[in-house]
Structure 1
Amino acid sequence: MKKVLIGLMVLGSFVFASEGMSGCVETKLNEAVSIYSCPSGDYKAIFETNRDGSKRVGWKEPTIEVLSTKGPTTINQYTQK
């Protein structure tokens, strides 16, 4: 459990450290919820919002949920003898 939490904290810092993280695509569901599709998996981020619905910046780290994880791509090359 500790490894999962530490991994999510590290991943969260990389995902939200810069707007243009290479390989990740952000899909906004609304102001408070975004889904990030990365090569390592899909993640759902829930941000804290103000009363008017705008995203609070710098208040609190978003809540991150792992939707799916993707393993390494294995390519098998077989040759006939």
Structure 2
Amino acid sequence: MTEFNQDKFESKAKKLVVEYLNYEINGKEVSIVFFKKGEVYAEAMLKDLDDHRFVVRYFYEEGVYFLEVPYCQSKYKSF
């Protein structure tokens, strides 16, 4: 397990959301509204300019990112 880097995590979290939304942007339209570092994983809630909310988790031991796409009022759906 490597040492956790919050800046790298936040950058990767934004990139995952941007890729999911298929935005052709640099991530400035996506902001982090919540961050938590736990014992097993780090978690951040992000939102875009249309107020769609996303949760990204990074599991330290596995080195895996998980993007959770909650229900949104527009065309974006859970999966």
TM-score by length of 1: 0.44
Higher strand share: 2
Whichever of the two has the greater Rg, that structure is 1
